[in-house]
Amino acid sequence: MSSDSISFTPEGSTRINGTDVQLRTTFDSAQATSQGSQGTAPIAATDPVLAGEFVLPGVFLGSQAVLARRLAGVAPGTEFKAFVGPGVAQQLFRLRSEKTEKAQTGTTTFDVHHYELVFDATPAPLLMHVYADDLGGLVRVEIPSQDRKSTR
């Protein structure tokens, strides 16, 4: 999701290493305000968000669907910024490559665009593969270093 679009409030609950985590983030003009808890510890953070910046919290596949649509027609080497979560510095990422591949569902074969993204993360860059159909719809997301694969 782009931060210059209409308001967006991701809210979610999860369990990380046996600890319940709840988080709600609201966006307005130039900031993201996050509140929640990790176990009994409160989470409260306000972060700047620039116009045109992507909102890519790792747990929301919907934000990655918006990313897939925005990558159509973008030249390799193009850089973007992303809000990935409260208290985390804005992440710079770039489109490393784009190629067309074949995918199959049942007996149907179709073209997918394979976008290879690199995030300037610490301590090492993070590689993400985003696959989209010809209309820009998200097909698959892979983050190899986290052994994470999501298919729509």
pTM of the model: 0.66
- pLDDT score, position 130: 92
pLDDT digits (tens, 9 = 90+) for 48-63: 777 666 666 554 556 7
CB 139 within 8 A of CB 115: no
Q: Is the pLDDT of residue 36 over 90?
A: no
- pLDDT score, position 115: 95
CB 13 within 8 A of CB 22: yes
CA-to-CA distance for 78 and 120, rounded, in angstroms?
A: 13
Taking residues 10-35, report their average pLDDT: 74
* Between residues 101 and 84, the one the model is more confident about: 101
Taking residues 52-78, report their average pLDDT: 75
Q: Is the pLDDT of residue 147 over 70?
A: yes
- Cα 56 to its chain centre, rounded Å, is 3
